[in-house]
Structure 1
Amino acid sequence: MLVSTRDLTVEVGAASLFSGLDLAVDTGECLVVTGANGAGKSTLLRCLYLLQRPSSGTVSVCGAAPDERSAAFRRRVSVVLDDSALFEELTARQHLDLLGRSFGVARPVPAALASRADVPAGDPSAGRRRRLLLHAAVARPHSVLLLDEPERALDAEGLSWLTTLVGQSLSVVVDSHRRPLAATVADYVVDL
């Protein structure tokens, strides 16, 4: 399994967001986590990237405990979280060039971003910024992709593009409010 949890529990104060959660995502599979606001969807992704420690239980990503501080871990796991950011002064073209140089891969600007490829990332719409974050996440080499509400700020065309992007990754864990997205891309759905 590329992503697994065993008896995972996260408590906030006296309340449990989730308790005893067992997950398993293998190569080529997509797990979509759904649930109401505050159910723990984003928290689960933060546990899978070790930005948050669980109260109890174990997490394994790519065969080891996650550690976002480890360069080896970051080379295998690509992530777009709610607070992911861009360099506001760099253009989409410059972002992808930097990404390509960092990971040793050439990445041209995709058609979905081409019309605004040379505009600073701080200037485009929220949907264009989201597309750039998502494209950058899948453009770099990775074994696991973690996406926190990737559909946020995307229009209908962007949602269609997103389903194609998710299909390009080896193993994916997505949290989402959009059940139609889950129905389109998920091999498994967990409702928190």
Structure 2
Amino acid sequence: MALFREQADVSVRPAVPGDEVAITDVQLAAWRATHADVVGAEVLAGLDPSALHERWRAAIVRPPTPEHRVLTACEGATVVGFAAVAPLPAAPGPPPAGPGGELVALEVAPGSRRTGHASRLLAAVVDGLRQDGGEHLVAWVLDGDTARGQFLRSAGLGPDGAVRQLATGMVVDRSAPDGSPAVERTVSEHRWSAAI
């Protein structure tokens, strides 16, 4: 008797209206699993899923340009990851020469990681950029996200020296005496890039 191993049907497709709920769920779960120490669990707990649903719906239904895209990774019909890409913006540091895109988001649900979804999403992003005449891809890596850095390095990207600071919101310094004002928490992101 032969043993057969069931394997889910896996795919990448453009996001469609209705995917915004699953995309938000994946984003929040991934951020909580990966970024709570750096960004702050209280900041992540304060994110409004309804507002994120609306932003993702707008990105899917009314992208600012044809080059703005949202893709989903699926196991069967279930969305387990997503990527969003935009045209290269003016950014700090030396810009890549020539046209290209910025990987605005790439997240996979914690329970579906290390199964090839991120690689398939990144390959689809690069294929789309090449079809549009893109020559470069950039992505941002949050301090402390070694797994993302390792993934991007394995895909051929590397740090290019650009750094940006992001404000995550006001947080209370729990180590300070009572009555201390909230302070703004900032995090650093480093730009990674590659010719495609």
User: Which TM-score bucket, shorter chain as reference?
Assistant: under 0.3
- Which structure shows the higher strand fraction? 2
- Structure number with greater Rg is 2
Q: TM-score, normalised by structure 1?
A: 0.26
Q: TM-score, normalised by structure 2?
A: 0.26
